[in-house]
Amino acid sequence: MTGFTGFALRRAVGAIVTLLAISVIVYVVFYATPGDVAQITCGPRCSPAQVHQVAQQLKLDDPLYVRYWHFLQGVVAGQDYSTGTSVERCSAPCLGLSYRSDRQVMQIILGKLPVSLSLVLGAMVLWLLLGVGTGVLSAWRRGRLTERALTGVTLAGVATPSFVIGLVLMIVVCGQLELLPFPEYVPLSADPEQWMWNLLLPWLTLALGEAAYFARLTRASMLETLAEDHIRTFRAYGVGERSIVGRHALRGALAPIIALNANDVGAMVGGAVLTETLFGLPGIGQELVHAVNVVDLPVVVGMVLVIGFFVVLANAVADVLYAVADRRVVLT
Amino acid sequence: MSEALVAVEVPGASASGTSGARQFRRRLRAQRAALVAAAVVALLALIAVAAPLLTAIEGQDPTTYHPSLVDSARGGVPIGSFGGASAEHWLGVEPQTGRDLFARLVYGARVSLGVALGATAVQILLGVVVGITAALGNRWVDQLLSRISDIIVAMPLMIMALALLAVVPGSFPRPVLVALIIGFVAWGTIAKITRAATLTLKQLDYVAAARLSGWSTLRIARRELLPGLAAPVITYAALMVPVNIGIEASLSFLGVGVKPPTPSWGQMLSSADVWYQAAPQYLLLPAGALFVTVLALTVLGDGVRTALDPRTASRLRVGTGHKGEAKA
Amino acid sequence: MRHPSDIARRAAAASVGLVLAAGAAACGPKDNDAKGSAGDSAPHKGGTLTVLNSEPQTDFDPARLYTSGGGNVPSLVFRTLTTRNRENGAAGAKVVPDLATDTGRPSENATVWTYTLKKGLKYEDGTAITSADIKYGIERSFAPELSGGAPYLRDWLVGAADYQGPYKDKKGLSAIETPDSRTIVFHLNKPEGEFPYLATQTQFTPVPKAKDTGTKYAQHPVSSGPYKVVSNDNDGEHLVLVRNTYWSAATDAERKAYPDKVDVRSGLDSSVINQRLSASQGADATAVTTDTNLGPAELAKVTGDKELAARVGTGHFGYTNYIAFNPKVKPFDNAKVRQAISYAVDRSSVINAAGGSALAEAATTFLPNQKSFGYTPYDLFPAGRTGNAAKAKELLAEAGYKNGLTVTLTHSNSKGFETSPEIATALQDALKKAGITVKLQGLEDNDYRDKIHSVKTEPGFFLAHWGADWPSGGPFLAPIFDGRQIVKDGANFNNGLLDDKSVNAEIDAINKLTDLDAAAKRWGALDEKIGARALTVPLFHPVYKRLVGKDIRNVVISDWTGVLDISQVAVK
Amino acid sequence: MSLVRVTDLTVEFGGLTAVDGLSFELAPGAALALVGESGSGKSTVASALLGLHRGTGARVGGSVEVAGTDVQRASEDELRRLRGGKAAMVFQDPLSSLDPYYAVGDQIAEVYRVHTRASRRAARARAVEVLDRVGIPDAPRRARSRPHEFSGGMRQRALIAMALACEPDLLIADEPTTALDVTVQAQILDLLHTLRAETGMGLLLVTHDVGVAAESVGEVLVMRHGRVVEHGPVGAVLGSPTQAYTRELLDAVPRVDAPRAPSQPSEEIVLEATGLRREFGRGKRAFAAVDDVSLRVHRGETLGIVGESGSGKTTLGRMLVGLLEPTAGQVRYDGHARVGVNRAVQMVFQDPVSSLNPRRSVGESIADPLRARGERDEQRIRGRVTELLERVGLEGAHYDRYPHEFSGGQRQRVGIARALAADPRVIVCDEPVSALDVTTQAQVVALLAELQRELGLALVFVAHDLAVVRRVSDRVAVMRQGRIVESGPADEVYDNPQALYTKQLLAAVPALDPEVAARRRTARREPAAL
């Protein structure tokens, strides 16, 4: 694809600008949020003297811009830090250390990322299958009873809060029917089968509502494509409805699907906290909440940056996919 | 984003054209589902407005505790069947507190609908202004604005919420604040749509004609562009309202919604979800209310889109090889 | 957009987590309940015990932990000089020897405490535990890198106020002497009869200097207890403990250590934990939780089910939820107003908001209703179950508020918390009857804590709670009412800003006593004396009810921790 | 046994009747043209032949028999076998008629496999074969490109190739050349002709352009309001029409060979362009749409600018009125260099639909220039607008009507009125009549000429239709690829063109006389590529 490197370059620059802006915002915001970090870190009963020591330890006395500058240095060049007994290296890109636990933010994130990714990507496969499938079916059977039924189902899906879905699923499937054990995260590397069984319910919880949206989207854009001239051509050449809907109409509907999918996947990496909490999956989202609650700035910044990174990445990927799908589009 | 990712229908540019209101109403009337939905929405709005009246008829209010109506020894579960439903308390009472559920439900409608509409207004305002500016401004303005909306999109909602809550003083009216928060996090799409639509409109000859007759850019934007944007924007807004209701529920859920004792469906849900077994109706009532509202608004939104969008309205009638498509 | 609802829910759950974390320092079953749940057959060794928690076991470093009596999971790995008596109910509120041969020998008017270590104490690597290691353990708890512990050591040890820990200050703490490898002597700057209680905290755990890895020590702390850490994922998110073969029951009378393995999982939603425990499928049959109580909703369900009810452990922990006044703020400078409110409160609706009579007991005293605290019943402003509006109005009139008054009640926005909106609104509703209009000021939790614990910003009328660091009146009353513990420029807990010579003197006098029973009686008396000033309105003492898996045996719940003691549980 | 037999065909959409009791036959190998203006129902007939109205809610009466299939009663399968198999259709807009997402070759192959049990490979081979047959160079490679990579003419060829794929007995061509340039149109028509000669398939040509019909068929059927007006051999119908409407139609058709009554332009130059250049795109994609164009417009004269699509004539027009700023060169009005728009230089746009704001009454649109000039007195505004409306042949009462209530021709009149409202001295007309039916075309052109005479307006008439341009212009400039290849007095340029390109253009214009058409065709040999 011509000009791809140019595109990649522009996107990379854009992403960096965006992420920098985000990190600045988060820094400022959390500077403004109440909650004395040193006090929280040190514990409620810490004496002022102790709190002061901790503040020094965490370099909280430095002005905001200095702290941010150190953060940037860490990202670019990495940084050394003391565990008290030894000096450790946090190699670039170093997102700093957690105030609470003195662990490297990067380590924390890397610990959580597999969970979030397993959850979101797995769910994505599910909602694409369910959603697009339903959409195609109702576009094909449009005007018939099948479509009415499917429309009803999808609307219901859209209107049901996802935590209700998750709760019910768990009570029924695990509690009453005892079909599955109560989910618990098992790393893919450890045991792929257990990984899948344990993630099945979380995937469903995440996917059902999402699938409904995709079904609606797919149907809508397929109907639009069906109204276009080239479809008329293929009808006039005796091409069957199956191929017209399945090949030509669906192809035309891909663009919006790709776009929405990218957005949601990106956002969910950090946003699927309902599901994470409900099923006890130690993912990014849960960690972010916790970090916010204890004003653990480095972790919050790190998490938000990672989430932002995935959103940006997802959109870039979407554009590439789209350009591959439709050669008329020029990547910019 | 590559432009093609945003597909927009600009009635002004399509052959059928539109005589605005009349035609729109006719097209809307052509859809039974949408009409039912509209009726439901109207009813909900009425309930929200008439909340004080309704509760007065019932003879209750949403904040008074009734310790005697709950079984303190059993975690405060309402005494009696159906969550203590009775002539005094039509839908029973809230576990632990014994507050009247009907009253809380109807007052909750106020928050949910009010905030959702307010948020939608904010989104439209921001989105349209940014969108038009991006479309009419030069490359750099355009770039800058799209970067900003990127940032907004990439920011987790909770961070934004906490941010605003931290900065805004507690005395600031919460519902307004919540509406602002929601509005602020989700205007990106409207901006994109507006931008794309404006770019399309800009090409139309009648805009060129207006320039030839000597009008200023501002005047042209107001007289020739804005009306043309109405259709796509309204369409999207109609679909945004239910989504915003969901977000409001979520924020209340998160505890950054409206303050107690003001009732909100989101709050009720968050405190009710643990009661799914002991006092199901406590969960089902707000969930049901939310379900119906979102459902109705979504259907209505679809209706509005079909009515405003000549493509789905007219084009589908030709050569699709299936019966009953004319209705689509 | 479903994601926002996710976000919402997650935060809700997070705060629930906090509740339960608070609960973790809470209560356990009265003997009879315990029997019911313990099952009749005798406990045996072996098996795996699963722990399902909502909050991760973070900072698994003895220097950083803030525990009452050495904590629950921590005390499986960390032995301390003294420890809590692992028995049901009141008997469990006693302090007993652990590493030491006795609970400590006071001298020089309880300003010097001497301990001797038992023989044959070993770490998980077989090396011997020495008194120097205990000293080192305490010293490193002063390092700012390892902050988080209780304040007492810093306050009590001679010349410890500005000590920065062994990493910055190689000389060490002169207040601790280790004349030989089995003897350790503490020099205090004032008499502290309750030092044995303090010695139960994890800071008194031996840490071999050679094995200290500073902030990374939590990854794998060297065990002195019956179990050692085999894995600690993501800062306590998933903790796996197995037998420490060098631990010998002969040197440890307290820990039973029946299971071969303990698997601590966290990050679960509280409702899921209770759901799983009640279902008790597979590994959950041998599961317990150390931080998740039955909520009102679950309780309503459980009480309806014999089998489940038999598996509920009930516990009491020295804990009081109360209304705090700041007498520097009008109109609360007027004692009559404070008394009026004391009369007006409707404890039954507050208790309902807190989960009902099964989860909360009405409180009229500031001290918890337990003997070890020196509990002396009194009800100076009798409000009855639902409040005495008439009396309240009368007092208001005397105070000059004939046609009622309007006040602002500050609380935290975190749901389910003792300081939560639910309780605030309950009070708001109750005070209405007495002609008091209550405006609610809900703050984000951090904001709330900053405000109420800072002398500068402390509101006049707010919800507060207090839990004991050990089951005695000392740590319960002193931080709240000792005038010399008012912190001007930091976290202050003396919300009433009470600085009364007689009170301060009495606190000092009691601290001199080494006869803890005698001390308890005088704490009780002091409590009533302070109560008369109506600086607080005690609301309720929480009761903690928890489910255990169906194969769990030998549930022991002391009044010290209020939660089942993991070191006693058997799964066979 | 005839190839097509239509008996008493009636098609109704909702209330209105598109086709009303139409009957005709077509013998195998014969060619029939359905000629008519928009709304005559000719295209509806075409779709009816393939039963495309099924399930659209349209009511179809009478009987249609194509290649032995009774379209009315045929089952879905029989229909599918007919469509593309026995009778193939070529549509008007070649771009939108192909799936943008798939390679042209694959689309043809797909159609081929629907009707034959051919393997994928065989189908691909067939696609390449037919593409080659319709004169697409390097067919094997081009078969893999997507429609947007083809030029307009190539697309139309590809569509025809798709039609050929299954060797149908009947080819239905619905306005096959309307979207194409005149030279390309000629090539496509020639292609159709040769194909018919070789394959002996029947042709049903649907067109609004009498000339196109004259070029390609033996029989003509003139339609109006869904009914037959006149039906017979092409020579007879076009040569000696018996029906009034047919005559009207033929008279309205502009003749490229009819000289224009010369006007006497003054020497005063109102508008002058020197070295105009306009580039679009940046970096690699930059190209010059208009390159070094200089021209003069005298008061009261009409300058015709003729060129095919992409010749840059529209860009030039927009620069003349100031809607576009030139990259280089300048536009002088009354001798003064001018930047931006100028009320004295107005424009009439091509698309009567998009040139009026659908949400504002036509009166308001016309009033714009007045208000913009600062006129506030509603009475005077209404008065002036009414005057203008009447001037362009509408009624003052139309003031409050909305654009969608007018026909294309009327909208174009409104557009003219709006231009006049600014009291211009120059009006640039950008393809003002190309979207209109011939009869309407004639009226609008007449109106413009009339206004010019009365108001001494200078007109710049931009169009692709050589005949129309000749009818209105005093002087003509022929544009190609952004440059003026030839310019001069209309009659000179038309009667004795110098530039090769101009010659090609003129040669490509369809003649109304079938004999002439035939001679012309043999004259121009089909070039290898477009």
pLDDT tens-digit profile of C444-479?
Answer: 788 888 899 999 999 999 999 998 899 999 999 999
| Structure-token pair, residue D31 | 């060619």
User: What's the pLDDT score for residue B309?
Assistant: 61
User: What's the pLDDT score for residue C498?
Assistant: 94
Residues 6+ positions from D471 with CB-CB distance below 8 Å: D254, D255, D258, D260, D445
**Nearest C-alpha neighbor of A282 from the set C56, C61, C19:** C56
H or E, element range at C53? none
Q: CB–CB of D365 and B206 under 8 A?
A: yes
Q: pTM to 2 decimals?
A: 0.80
Q: How far apart are CA D464 and CA D477, in angstroms?
A: 12
User: What's the pLDDT score for residue B163?
Assistant: 64
User: What's the pLDDT score for residue C24?
Assistant: 36
Task: Give the gap in angstroms from C-alpha A40 to the nearest C-alpha of chain C.
Answer: 9
Sign of torsion over alpha carbons D19, D23, D29, D33:
negative
Q: CB–CB of D114 and A325 under 8 A?
A: no
Task: Give the gap in angstroms from C-alpha C134 to the nearest C-alpha of chain B.
Answer: 44
Residue B111 has pLDDT above 90, yes or no: no
Cis amide leading into C29 (omega within 30) = no
Q: How far apart are CA D359 and CA A304, in angstroms?
A: 46
Task: Give the gap in angstroms from C-alpha A229 to the nearest C-alpha of chain D.
Answer: 5
User: What's the pLDDT score for residue C570?
Assistant: 95
DSSP letters spanning B227-259: HHHHHHHHHHHHHHHHHHHHHHHHHHHHT-SSP
What mean pLDDT is reported for chain C?
88
CB–CB of B110/B265 below 8 Å?
no
User: What's the pLDDT score for residue A221?
Assistant: 84
Nearest to B17 among D47, D318, D403 (CB): D403
Interface with chain C: mutation pick from A50, A287, A292, highest number of C CBs within 10 Å: A50
Select the more confidently predicted residue: C229 or C279.
C229
First-last CA distance in chain A: 13
Residue B18 has pLDDT above 50, yes or no: no
Residue of A nearest to D102 (CA): A248
Least confident interval from A273-277, B14-18, B237-241, D80-84: B14-18
Q: CB–CB of B75 and C295 under 8 A?
A: yes
How many CB pairs (< 8 A) connect A and B?
145
H or E, element range at C438? strand C436-443
Cis amide leading into D497 (omega within 30) = no
User: What's the pLDDT score for residue B17?
Assistant: 40
Q: CB–CB of B253 and C12 under 8 A?
A: yes
User: What's the pLDDT score for residue D515?
Assistant: 82
Select the more confidently predicted residue: A5 or C115.
C115
Characterize D126-162 residue by residue with b for buried, 16 or more Cβ atoms within 10 angstroms of its Cβ, and e for exposed: bbbbbbbbbbbeebeebbebbbeebbbbbbbbbbbbb
User: What's the pLDDT score for residue C418?
Assistant: 63
Question: Across residues C433-444, what is the average pLDDT?
Answer: 89
Contacts of B277 in chain A (CB under 8 A): 171
User: What's the pLDDT score for residue C25?
Assistant: 36
Interface with chain D: mutation pick from B9, B139, B211, B212, highest number of D CBs within 10 Å: B212
Residue of A nearest to D92 (CA): A229
Nearest to B74 among C295, C299, C413 (CB): C299
pLDDT band at C383 (very low <50, low <70, confident <90, very high): very high
Strand partners, C497: none
The CA distances from residue D26 to B204, D217, D234, in Å, are 44, 12, 14
pLDDT band at A184 (very low <50, low <70, confident <90, very high): confident
Coil/strand/helix, residue C305: coil
Interface with chain D: mutation pick from A230, A232, A258, highest number of D CBs within 10 Å: A230
Residue C142 has pLDDT above 80, yes or no: yes
Residue of C nearest to B181 (CA): C4
Task: Give the gap in angstroms from C-alpha B279 to the nearest C-alpha of chain A.
Answer: 15
| Structure-token pair, residue D104 | 């042209």
Select the more confidently predicted residue: D46 or B24.
D46
Q: CB–CB of C3 and A272 under 8 A?
A: yes
Q: How far apart are CA D18 and CA D43, in angstroms?
A: 10
The pairing of beta strand C48-52 with beta strand C287-288: parallel
Question: D104-130, pLDDT tens digit by residue?
Answer: 999 999 999 989 888 999 999 999 999
Task: Give the gap in angstroms from C-alpha C211 to the nearest C-alpha of chain A.
Answer: 10
Q: Is B20's Cβ below 8 Å from some Cβ in D?
A: yes
pLDDT band at A329 (very low <50, low <70, confident <90, very high): low
Residue C297 has pLDDT above 80, yes or no: yes
Q: CB–CB of D368 and B18 under 8 A?
A: no
Contacts of B162 in chain C (CB under 8 A): 444
Q: Is B311's Cβ below 8 Å from some Cβ in D?
A: no
Q: Is A32's Cβ below 8 Å from some Cβ in B?
A: yes
Least confident interval from A300-304, C217-221, C419-423, C541-545: C419-423
Residue A64 neighbours by CB distance under 10 Å = 12
User: What's the pLDDT score for residue C419?
Assistant: 64
Question: C303-316, pLDDT tens digit by residue?
Answer: 888 999 999 999 99
User: What's the pLDDT score for residue B3?
Assistant: 30
Q: CB–CB of A143 and B325 under 8 A?
A: yes
Phi-psi region of B309 (alpha: psi -120 to 50; beta: other; left: phi over 0): beta
Q: How far apart are CA C538 and CA A279, in angstroms?
A: 38
pLDDT band at A3 (very low <50, low <70, confident <90, very high): low
Select the more confidently predicted residue: A294 or A112.
A112
For a pLDDT cut of 70, what percent of chain C falls above it?
92
| Structure-token pair, residue B156 | 């987790």
Residue C9 has pLDDT above 80, yes or no: no
Sign of torsion over alpha carbons D122, D128, D130, D132:
negative
Question: A101-127, pLDDT tens digit by residue?
Answer: 888 999 999 988 999 999 999 999 999
Q: How far apart are CA D195 and CA D162, in angstroms?
A: 13
Prediction ipTM score:
0.78
The CA distances from residue D164 to B298, C324, D5, D266, in Å, are 48, 92, 22, 57
- Residue ranges in chain D whose pLDDT is less than 70: 1, 260-265, 524-530
CA atoms within 13 A on the CB side of A3: 14
Residue A93 has pLDDT above 80, yes or no: yes
Beta strand segments in D247-394, E: 269-280, 287-298, 302-307, 328-333, 336-337, 345-348
The dihedrals phi and psi of A72, each to the nearest 5 degrees, come to -60, -45
Most confident of A197-211, B154-168, C322-336, D136-150: C322-336
Token pair 């208790």 is found at C351
Residue C23 has pLDDT above 80, yes or no: no
**Nearest C-alpha neighbor of B273 from the set B288, B284, B264, B257:** B284
**Nearest C-alpha neighbor of D89 from the set D197, D186, D175:** D175
Task: Give the gap in angstroms from C-alpha B171 to the nearest C-alpha of chain C.
Answer: 9
Q: How far apart are CA C415 and CA D323, in angstroms?
A: 62
Give residues 120 to 159 of A whose Cβ lies within 8 Å of C.
Answer: none
For a pLDDT cut of 90, what percent of chain A falls above it?
12
Contacts of A232 in chain D (CB under 8 A): 52, 91, 97
Strand partners, C52: C265
Give residues 222 to 261 of A whose Cβ lies within 8 Å of C.
Answer: none
Helices B139-154 and B101-136: angle between axes, nearest 10 degrees: 150
Give residues 104 to 123 of A whose Cβ lies within 8 Å of C.
Answer: 108, 111-112
What mean pLDDT is reported for chain B?
77
